[in-house]
Amino acid sequence: MKITPVILCGGSGTRLWPLSRKSYPKQFVPLVGNQTLFQSSVLRMTGGALDFAGPLVLTNSDFRFIVTEQLASIGIDPGAVLIEPEGRNTGPAVLAAALYLAKSAPEAVMLVAPSDHLIPDKAAFQAAVEAGLKAVQEGQLVTFGIAPTHPETAYGYLELSAVPDSVSQPVTLSRFVEKPDAARAAEMLAAGNFMWNAGIFLFRASDIVAAFQACAPALLEPVSKAVDGAEPDLGFLRLASDPWSRAENVSIDYAVMEKATNLSVVPFAGAWSDLGGWDAVWRETGPDETGTVTTGEAIAIDCENSLLRSDSTALELVGIGLKNVIAIAMNDAVLVADMSRAQDVKQAVSALKAKAAPQATHFPIDHRPWGWFESLVIGDRFQVKRIHVHPGASLSLQSHFHRSEHWIVVEGTAKVTVDDKVTLVSENQSIYVPLGSVHRMENPGKVPMVLIEVQTGVYLGEDDIVRYEDVYARGQGEKG
C-alpha cells in the first residue's frame, strides 16, 4: 500500500525566537543535529519497509524555494508543492491535499505530519504507521498519541478508550482534551489512558473528504474551488486565492477530529518533541553532567542547567556561573531568559513588534530562490550587503528608482548586465550600476559566487525593484 506523506510547512513559530522568525521559521533551521526539522520530517517518511510516494508539501509563497532547495540537498523530489495564498490553519490545508490526491487516486493513503517535530527513531515511527494501516483500510481516521513522560501543560491530550498495551496497536479514541492545568495533567499521566496529541494523522483521501463533508461542510466549497482553480507556477501549484480566502481559519482538530466518530489512536512510545521552546531544545540536545548545553561559538564556565547557543561565527558567547538560564545569540539579537520562562519568549516578539523592530519577524539572512543576502551595515543613505548566488542561478532583470549600486566580487565570477553591456566580473573586480539602469547579476560558474554590494540613495527598501524578466516568475515586489 503506497503512502503519500503530506508535510504541512507554512507555519511560523515565535517561541524559538531569535532563531525562528516569521521570515525563516524553525522548520528550516538545524536546531538539533545537522539536518533541518523539515528535512528530518521528510526523511522519516522515506525508505524502510513501507512504500512511500514522493512527499506532497503545503507551504506559502515566501517559503516555496526554501522547500525545494532543502529537499534537493537531501536528494528528495517532491510529489507536488501546493502554495497556500494565505495561512488558513491545518483544516483547509489537509482538505486541499486530500482533494488534490483524490482527483487521481481517491483511495490514496495520506500520512499528514507537521514539518517541525523531532522524532529521532525513524524505524519506530514507521512501525507505528504500519500498525495504523489496518484501521485505515477499515475506513478509520487514525491519529497518533505520544506516551507522556511528564505532566505537560503545553500539549493537548487524547483520551483512549482503554490503557494501551506495549504494542503500538490502534485503540478507539474517546475524546480530545484541551491543554490542562498542572493538577489535571498529573491526574491524566497517572490514569495511563491519556496521550499527548501529536497532530499526525493517517487516512485515505476519500475518507477524510467524507469526514469534512459530514463535520465541516462549509469548507468544501471554497477549498474545492481553490484546488480546481489552482495554476501551475514553475514547479509549484498555486491554489486559487479568492476562494481560498473564504475558507474558515480552523484546525483539522476543531473542524473534523473532535466531531468524527470513526477515530482510532496508535500509541507511540518513542521519543518525540515539537520543540516548542528553548527548554525543549536544551532537553533534546543532550545536556552534559552539569545539565549544560553549548552550541556554536559558546563557552560555559561553572554553569548549571543552562543552554548557551551562538549562531554567529563572529560572536563568542561566554556564560559564567549561570543557573537555569537560556542565552541565544545571533548577529542582530540576543535572548537571555530564565529556563522556567521558556514559554514566554513570544512576549519578547510582541514587544519588539510594538516598537517596530525588524528583529521581531525578519531573519538577518534573507533567503531567495537564487541564494541569500545579509545586511552588514545600514546607514541613513547607504547599505552594505553580502550576497551569495548559487551556481547557475540568476537574479531578475531589474531597475531601481531610488538607489545606485556598486558590486565587488570576492568569490567566483559574476556575469553582469548593465543596460546593453554584459561583463564578466572576477574576484577583486568591481562594477557600478547607476540609478535607473536596467541590470542583472548571474553566476555562470559551478561554485557559489559571493559579492559585496554597496547601495547609496534616498530609499533602500527591498520593494524598490522593478522586474522586467525573472526565471523564478516572481511578481513585482514579491520576494520569494
User: What was the pLDDT predicted at 212?
Assistant: 97
Indicate the pairing of strand 466-469 with strand 397-399.
Answer: antiparallel
d(CA 66, CA 230): 21
User: What was the pLDDT predicted at 166?
Assistant: 63
Average pLDDT, the chain: 93
Given a cut of 80, whether residue 11 has pLDDT beyond it is: no
Average pLDDT (69-93) is 93
Residue with cell 493538577: 183
- Return the C-alpha cell found at 148: 507522556
User: What was the pLDDT predicted at 162?
Assistant: 87
User: What was the pLDDT predicted at 53?
Assistant: 94
Specify the higher pLDDT residue, 474 or 68: 68
- Return the C-alpha cell found at 343: 514559554
Average pLDDT (213-219) is 97
Model pTM?
0.89
Comparing 99-108, 145-154, 409-418, the range with the smallest average pLDDT is: 145-154
Q: How far is CA 247 from CA 62, 250, 347, in A?
A: 21, 9, 29
Beta strand spans in 156-251 (E) = 157-160, 171-177, 194-204, 231-233, 236-238
Chain region(s) in the chain for CATH 2.60.120.10? 365-469
pLDDT tens-place string over residues 250-261: 999 999 999 999
User: What was the pLDDT predicted at 478?
Assistant: 58
User: What was the pLDDT predicted at 78?
Assistant: 82
User: What was the pLDDT predicted at 62?
Assistant: 86
Q: Is 453:387 a contact under the CB 8 Å cutoff?
A: yes
Average pLDDT (280-301) is 96
User: What was the pLDDT predicted at 479?
Assistant: 61
Indicate the pairing of strand 263-268 with strand 141-146.
Answer: parallel
Beta strand spans in 85-156 (E) = 109-114, 141-146
- Quick one: which of 335, 314, 454, 309 has its CA closest to 383? 454
pLDDT tens-place string over residues 423-472: 999 999 999 999 999 999 999 999 999 999 999 999 998 889 999 999 88
User: What was the pLDDT predicted at 438?
Assistant: 97
Average pLDDT (219-233) is 95
Q: Is 83:237 a contact under the CB 8 Å cutoff?
A: yes
pLDDT tens-place string over residues 147-194: 898 898 888 999 998 887 766 788 898 988 989 999 999 999 999 999
Given a cut of 80, whether residue 477 has pLDDT beyond it is: no
CATH of domain 365-469: 2.60.120.10
Chain region(s) in the chain for CATH 3.90.550.10? 3-268
User: What was the pLDDT predicted at 463?
Assistant: 87
Q: Is 275:32 a contact under the CB 8 Å cutoff?
A: yes
Given a cut of 60, whether residue 296 has pLDDT beyond it is: yes
User: What was the pLDDT predicted at 208?
Assistant: 97
User: What was the pLDDT predicted at 39?
Assistant: 96
Q: Which CATH code of 3.40.50.300, 3.10.180.10, 3.40.50.1970, 3.90.550.10 fits the domain covering 3-268?
A: 3.90.550.10
d(CA 14, CA 341): 14
Identity of the amino acid at 1: M
